Amino acid sequence: MKTRIIIAILLVGMSTLYSQNYLDVIKPFQGMSGRSGAESGITPAAMVESNALLGNPALLSYSEKTTLSADLSFNQVEGTSVFNSTIWDKSSDYGLSFNSLTYIHPVRVYRGAWVWGFNLQPVSSFSSINEFGDLEPDEGFDYQYRAIETGNLYALTGGSSVLVTMNTSVGFAISYLAGENSFTRIYEETDTHDYFTFDKYTDSLHFAPKYNGIGARLGLLTELSENLNLGASLEFPSWISVSESSSRTVTEELDTGAEVLIEDSSWPALDYSVWGPWRLGLGLGFVAEPLEASVNYRFHSYRTTSMSGDLLDPDNGEYLEDIIAKEIDKNVGNVHEFSASLHWALDPLQLSFAASVMNDALNYQLDNIIRLDLGFGYQMSSGLGFTLALRNEQWQSNLDHILDSGAERTVGVENNFSKYQFGIKYTL
């Protein structure tokens, strides 16, 4: 009478080493290089040079002074479960984290500009909360299902930009990627009618992938006229090595209060490598000082994402990378991203706004991921400056499942991720 909810991720490969699926393969690359708008175009939306290093490196040529900047962020994620058009559950998590450290050094400025830059920051955050609980209509017990994901993929990036003609600059950036992810799914059922010998049954599945890899991008920036600029960026497929461990624990809490351990399993590292995707960005910038604006488009070629390894499926003897390639071809779509930004700068104040919309690689809905950025900067004559920024990102997922009685639960989950940034910037 246990594990009555049929959930694919819990049942497919739950008791074997081969719990990997195509969702995990593309996971590190969702959100790579950020989604803050204008990164593949002209104007950095969040007023930090890291947008250039992780978006269009040619933007570095706009830096005329050596700067050192750093900031922290207060992050909050909220998951809202909706069942039958009714809000069923709300969950939240929050915490303080390191956000960015950037050093920019111009060797030459303006005509003949040559600028170097270095940056450390998370480029892809894994933060989502999915939760839903209800009563099984035929069996008469309460159940609850939770899926919690946290983690970061960090990039240590170095790049340079040079002015190759009077009006055109080119740049490059190379990143070393490292990070880890914690992904937990928990199913609990409570015997509210005293039908069974236990009070609570808990089935917990945990994945812990670790990432190491490299990425690279090129950028172009040219002045078409005094008030109009054109930017382009090309991001090559990042290569990431993944080492993923997993564990499963099943327990029963008896009526007497004693806890019985039914299963306690763990598996050694599952090692494989992942490539992709390609990314191409284009943008137009409009300048009417003190106001700058940009509109941008970026194409993410997720269908070129691939996995390599020597893992075999024990059921049919087929290589896991071939199985995942078929799943990606069937279920994963390319991604289109549109963004726009405004930047107002009149010493000592700077204000910025950016908005972006992109479809999800799995759901392929144009409005599936929406992000807004607001920024404020104040630069004192002493060289010390302060920045405040708010980044808000919203996306949808689901907790759809089928009960043992055959009843279907179509549960929509809306995640709202907010990042409040507090930074300092020193100009030498």
Read off the pLDDT of residues 205-263 as tens digits, 9 standing for 90 and up: 888 889 999 999 999 988 888 888 888 889 999 999 999 888 889 998 887 778 888 88
pLDDT (0 to 100) of residue 326:
86
The predicted pLDDT at position 44 comes to 41
Burial class (CB in 10 A: 0-12, 13-18, 19+), 375: buried
Distance of alpha carbon 192 from alpha carbon 199, whole angstroms = 8
pLDDT at 348 over 60: yes
pLDDT in tens, 416-425: 889 888 888 8
In percent, how much of the chain has pLDDT > 70? 86
Looking at residues 38-62, what average pLDDT do you find? 64
- Nearest CA among 395, 335, 407 for reference residue 40: 335
pLDDT digit string, tens, across residues 187-198: 888 876 666 666
Q: Where in the chain are the domains?
A: 8-427
Q: Are 28 and 215 in contact (CB under 8 A)?
A: no
At 169, which amino acid appears? S
Query: pLDDT band at 89, cuts 50/70/90?
Result: confident
Cα–Cα dist 136/254, whole Å? 20
For the segment(s) 8-427, the CATH number from 2.40.160.60, 1.10.8.60, 3.30.2080.10, 3.40.1080.10 is 2.40.160.60
Cβ-based neighbours of 87, under 8 Å, separated by 6 or more: 80, 81
Of 337, 355, 356, the C-alpha closest to 299 is 337
Q: How many residues does the chain have?
A: 428
DSSP per-residue letters across 343-380: EEEETTEEEEEEEEEE--TTT--TTSEEEEEEEEEEE-
Cβ–Cβ < 8 Å for 92, 76: yes
Rounded CA-CA distance 130/186 in Å is 10
CA distances from 264 to 248, 249, 261, 268, 296 (A): 6, 5, 7, 14, 50
Provide the pLDDT for residue 88.
Answer: 86
Q: Are 329 and 302 in contact (CB under 8 A)?
A: no
Q: End-to-end distance of the chain based on CA atoms, in angstroms?
A: 69
> CA-CA distance, 27 to 124, in Å (whole number)?
9
CA 371 centroid distance within chain: 12
Cis amide linkage into residue 290, ω under 30° from 0: yes
